[in-house]
């Protein structure tokens, strides 16, 4: 006979019945229930059914929240790496629906009815957008960099010459020196953290040099006693020494960012190539505003050689990415870049934001919280334009009975999740990154909180 405590562990079927219906699938719910019940077996005292059910519901909620779902981004960070970077343009979403729900010509030539080149239209237009001889696309910018390095670094030429001021870390785990080493490159650092001169590059280039790499600092800037030679100068040197110059631009701004809400200038792929870089690479989902992708543009012979690398096959994008990117690139080429959310959001007027904030504050009347309108400092984010702050408008909330971190947690856990930040003793939601169509969701989520 089982010990008393084991006998008191409820049966799976009984628990499932008590839980009722759930939007998670039955095999998933069963697995969670089994796991929780198994955990009870090793505990000394089995709690009552209600406690067991509460624990299981908690685990199910935890799991449900981990499902990728739309969230309300009240952080004021437009390209938020943890929140999916760039939301797609409506036209790109329509393309996804059309391409995803039917067959398509991703690798089929409609002119002769034979197997066709993958993404030839996209590559053609990307080259035009970057004013490059040629362009291609891989999974992300990290993959683009790895592909370029693996291709250009072959014994005995394995040296990658790079400034010490550009050995940066981007995001959680992406470090330029690590990527270099993982690609079989030998790091050849030149200059110092704050100053690198053209003669530093010159001294470092030798017979073993595979390429000179210039990396955009992306997420930080240096001020004061700093210097680094412009791309033109490095390009002239590289040409003279007959080594390729590759520039990792990171953000992929193809519009003039200084025209957007007074942001600082971000170098464009066209500009870098004009200044003499052989290849440039950048992300598709930062300032370009498309899906996750890594774009490589530049010299036609070099792009063609990259595409012949066996490794290229392992990095290629699928039809959904290619088609969403194709639509995004076309928007830029047609001069409709303001249809791209991250670009349009940066330019919304303060008056428009203030009017929305007023409506939201009125709609929150009667709740046990103080709601007001505050000032925000939005940022492009995603490791782009670290110097530029975009003035913004926030809805500021101070709950009367709940501590701020608990309030923030409850909003994160509501449906849809609402994400803001705490500053100056208030919970703030920056309206610049919240789509106007989400204002209602936001109000409903706050009204539904138990405060
Ligand atoms: C963001 C960034 C990367 C990584 O790009 P992913 O598309 O995320 O792989 C690489 N280099 C620079 C300079 C960046 O800013």
Ligand 1 atom showing the smallest separation from residue 383 Cα: 15
Q: Is the CB of 218 under 6 A from ligand 1?
A: yes
- Ligand 1 centroid to residue 104 C-alpha, Å: 30
d(CA 364, CA 372): 10
Residue ranges of the chain whose pLDDT lies below 50: 1
Q: Distances from the Cα of 198 to the Cαs of 164, 238, 240, 243, 420, in angstroms?
A: 13, 11, 13, 15, 45
Q: What is the DSSP string of 370-410?
A: EEEEEEEEEEEETTEEEEEEEEEEEEEEEESSS-HHHHHHH
- Ligand 1 centroid to residue 246 C-alpha, Å: 14
Q: Is the CB of 163 under 6 A from ligand 1?
A: no
Q: Give Cβ neighbours of residue 49 (< 8 Å, ≥ 6 apart).
A: 10, 18
The pTM of this model reads 0.94
pLDDT of residue 220: 75
Q: Is the CB of 383 under 6 A from ligand 1?
A: yes
| In contact, 232 and 184? CB cutoff 8 Å | no
Instruction: Tell me the H-state helices in 67-168.
Output: 90-100, 120-129, 141-152
Q: Is the CB of 142 under 6 A from ligand 1?
A: yes
d(CA 401, CA 386): 37
pLDDT of residue 3: 57
Q: Is the CB of 384 under 6 A from ligand 1?
A: no
pLDDT of residue 10: 85
- Number of Cβ atoms within 10 Å of the Cβ of 207: 7
Q: Which of 418, 396, 394 lies closest to 408 in space, CA to CA?
A: 418
pLDDT of residue 129: 98
- Ligand 1 centroid to residue 381 C-alpha, Å: 12
Q: Is the CB of 170 under 6 A from ligand 1?
A: yes
pLDDT of residue 1: 46
Instruction: Quickly tell me which residue has 């959001």 as its tokens.
Output: 345
- Ligand 1 centroid to residue 283 C-alpha, Å: 6
Write phi, then psi, for 421 (nearest 5 degrees): -150, 160
pLDDT of residue 94: 98
Q: What is the pLDDT of residues 143-177, one digit of tens each?
A: 999 999 999 999 999 999 999 999 988 877 788 88
Q: Distances from the Cα of 215 to the Cαs of 145, 184, 287, 376, in angstroms?
A: 10, 18, 16, 31
Ligand 1 atom showing the smallest separation from residue 382 Cα: 1
pLDDT of residue 188: 95
- HSE at residue 239, side-chain half, CA atoms within 13 A, is 11
Q: Which of 126, 300, 148, 268 lies closest to 213 in space, CA to CA?
A: 148
Q: Distances from the Cα of 435 to the Cαs of 87, 101, 260, 342, in angstroms?
A: 10, 26, 18, 11
Q: Is the CB of 294 under 6 A from ligand 1?
A: yes
Ligand 1 atom showing the smallest separation from residue 285 Cα: 7
Q: Which residues pair with 186 in a beta bridge?
A: 159
């Amino acid at each position: 006979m089982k010990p008393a405590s084991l006998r008191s562990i409820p049966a799976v079927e009984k628990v499932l019945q008590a839980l009722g219906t759930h939007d998670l699938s039955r095999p998933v719910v069963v697995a969670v229930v089994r796991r929780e019940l198994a955990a009870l077996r090793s505990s000394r005292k089995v709690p009552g059914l209600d406690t067991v059910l509460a624990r299981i519901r908690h685990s199910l909620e935890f799991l449900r929240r981990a499902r990728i779902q739309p969230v309300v981004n009240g952080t004021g960070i437009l390209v938020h790496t943890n929140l999916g970077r760039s939301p797609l343009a409506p036209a790109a979403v329509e393309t996804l629906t059309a391409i995803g729900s039917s067959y398509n010509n991703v690798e089929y030539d409609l002119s002769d009815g034979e197997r066709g080149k993958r993404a030839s239209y996209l590559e053609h237009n990307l080259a035009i957008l970057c004013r490059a001889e040629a362009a291609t696309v891989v999974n992300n910018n990290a993959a683009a960099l790895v592909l370029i390095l693996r291709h250009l670094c072959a014994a005995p030429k394995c040296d990658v010459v790079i400034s010490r001021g550009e050995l940066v870390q981007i995001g959680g785990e992406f470090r330029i020196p690590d990527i270099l080493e993982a690609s079989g490159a030998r790091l050849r650092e030149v200059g110092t953290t704050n100053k690198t001169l053209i003669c530093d590059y010159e001294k470092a280039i030798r017979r073993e040099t595979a390429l000179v790499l210039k990396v955009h600092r992306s997420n930080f800037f240096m001020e004061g006693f700093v210097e680094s030679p412009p791309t033109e100068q490095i390009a002239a040197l590289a040409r003279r020494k007959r080594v390729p110059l590759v520039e990792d631009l990171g953000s992929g701004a193809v519009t003039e960012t200084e025209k957007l809400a007074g942001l600082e200038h971000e170098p464009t792929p066209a500009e870098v190539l004009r200044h003499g870089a052989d290849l440039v690479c950048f992300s598709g989902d930062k300032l370009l505003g498309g899906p996750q992708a890594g774009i490589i543009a530049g010299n036609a012979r070099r792009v063609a050689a990259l595409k012949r690398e066996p490794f290229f096959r392992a990095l290629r994008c699928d039809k959904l990415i290619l088609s969403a990117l194709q639509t995004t690139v076309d928007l830029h080429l047609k001069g409709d870049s303001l249809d791209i959310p991250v670009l349009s959001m940066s330019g919304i007027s303060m008056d428009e934001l203030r009017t929305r904030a007023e409506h939201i504050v009125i709609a929150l009347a009667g709740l046990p919280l103080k709601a007001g309108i505050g000032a925000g400092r939005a940022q492009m984010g995603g490791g782009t334009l670290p110097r530029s702050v975009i003035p913004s408008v926030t809805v500021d909330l101070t709950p009367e009975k709940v501590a701020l971190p608990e309030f923030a947690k409850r909003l994160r856990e509501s449906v849809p999740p609402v994400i803001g930040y705490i500053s100056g003793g208030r919970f703030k939601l920056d309206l610049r990154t919240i789509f106007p169509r989400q204002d209602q969701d936001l109000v409903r989520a706050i009204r539904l909180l138990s405060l």
